[in-house]
Amino acid sequence: METKIYDASTIDEAAELLRTGELVAFPTETVYGLGAIACDDEAVKNVYKVKGRPSDNPLIVHVADREIAQYVAYVPEQAEALMEAFWPGPLTLIFPMKEGVFAPTVTAGHQTVALRMPAQTQTLELIRKTGFPLVGPSANTSGKPSPTTAQHVLHDLSGKIAGILDGGETRIGLESTVLDLTNTDGPVILRPGAITEVELEPIIGKLAGSAHPADEKTAPKAPGMKYQHYAPAQPVILIDGAAADWEAAIEAYRGKGDKIGLLASEELVAVHQDAAEAVYSLGPKMDVAAASQRLYAGLRYLDEQPVDVILAEAYDAAGIGEAYMNRLEKAASAKYPKK
């Protein structure tokens, strides 16, 4: 199969492929999604197959507007307020499922469904022209860093999907916040993202908290809760310490003969670049949004370099920094220093 690249002028062709059950990746403001029409169970099953995604990991459905009553059992008042405030945008909401609307494979056996309206003009047009919402898990091989460019998608899925709608580099670079509106104790964040608790609570009041990751026996209610994600082939070591800790870690790995890849702020790159085989700057240390936007691209870049280990910098887990650390901790195989 040849994977064709589409743009704004050829969206009609991409939509026709989706209507016929083919898979087409699309851009969002977060990461690229692997699109299939959400009412076609064979197409949705193919998403799992192409990605190598575990069958108990549910999918997020992408819609083109805020009129969602036809897709869910009911729309709580809190959801109306959240959609008004944050849609289109990087917020996924979990609703009670309406029977017979989406393909059974979409929800992975749950009686709930996750919806979001992406803030990406081309993709909203693609959904409208397709005529039905699209599933859109990250368009990568399952477990690997999510794609933030069409070239990343092509690297992982060339020859496996029909097409890619190229919308350039994604603006946020980390997956959406997932908020469960069906929790009996109140709304719960299942996955942190660019929309934070501080932004949500003025709209709907105090949240019930954040969900713990699903264990081996529990089916996850949302993506990102159970399985290791975002990891390149090389081990990623999360460095959460002072300058002396960085020096000790670099000395330790170089002492073993390892070639080092450095994923860090521009300040740390400037200090330690001569000790590394390859480096990728996350931008100024004080700009955690830039670091978040560059994280996956950096992991992918260093994955292609002749390095044995990737040393990655921790950031303060506040605001979008919580999402950055959530993804980096899932990618990391160890922390240094051990605490």
Amino acid identity, position 178: V
Question: 7: which 2 tokens?
Answer: 């743009």
Known binding residue 112? Answer is yes
Tell the residue number behind the tokens 């403001």, with chain if given. 29
Known binding residue 71? Answer is no
Known binding residue 176? Answer is yes
Q: What SS3 state is found at 82?
A: helix
Task: Return d(Cα 136, Cα 35) in angstroms, integer.
Answer: 5
Known binding residue 191? Answer is yes
Task: Return d(Cα 105, Cα 112) in angstroms, integer.
Answer: 12
Q: Answer for the pair 105, 41: CB distance below 8 angstroms, yes or no.
A: yes
Known binding residue 66? Answer is no
Known binding residue 155? Answer is no
Known binding residue 327? Answer is no
DSSP structural state of residue 107: G
Task: Return d(Cα 159, Cα 1) in angstroms, integer.
Answer: 5
Report the b/e string of 5-33 with b at 16+ CB within 10 A.
ebeeeebeebbebbeeebbbbbbbbbbbb
Known binding residue 138? Answer is yes
Known binding residue 116? Answer is yes
The binding site for ATP consists of 53, 57, 112, 138, 146, 191, 230
The binding site consists of 30, 53, 57, 62, 112, 116, 138, 146, 176, 191, 230
The binding site for L-threonine consists of 30, 62, 116, 176
